[in-house]
Amino acid sequence: MLSRHAYRLLLALLMLCPLLVNAAQAPKFKLPTLKSTVDLSSYTGKVVYVDFWASWCDPCRKSFPWMSELQGKYKDNLKVIAINLDQERGQAIKFLNHHRPGFTVAFDPQGKIAEAYKVPGMPTSYLIDQSGRIVFRQIGFRNSEKQLIENRIQSLLSNRQARAK
């Protein structure tokens, strides 16, 4: 049995796990959307925020307005792609009719892309840099960490602008 100190240390390390992503190449995907398809490879050179979600996930409901806000704020400089994992699309459509996302929603009912990304729970988000590398992973959604993620997005965008000069 872990001592209280060891337990706290382990908990602190687990909370840092999203920060310890090794900048691995993001697995490519081409998935159906409501109107067509979305292909990750077509966003090379852009910052991409990929979020895995399901209609039954309460924190996912809370993340949708913020992701819409992000997409609106950064427009062409950021691509937000939310990948739904519901096995029945009807459940996702009900959710989408209520939450009206301002970003691209794709469908992965068999969970193959989620498996490629090693998604541990709902929601899980990945920040992908302009070279297609995963530079940040967020498990869950917490209002207290929105600014951290946005700071990382701004940093990636400013790095691109600095290289362009």
- Could you write out the DSSP letters of every residue in 28-76? P-EEEBSSSEEEGGGGTTSEEEEEEE-TT-HHHHHHHHHHHHHHHHHGG
DSSP state of 98: H
Question: Catalytic residue positions?
Answer: 57, 60
Tokens standing for residue 11: 């908990």
Contact partners, residue 28, CB within 8 Å, separation at least 6: 39, 40, 41
Cα–Cα–Cα angle for 29, 121, 8, rounded to 5 degrees = 135
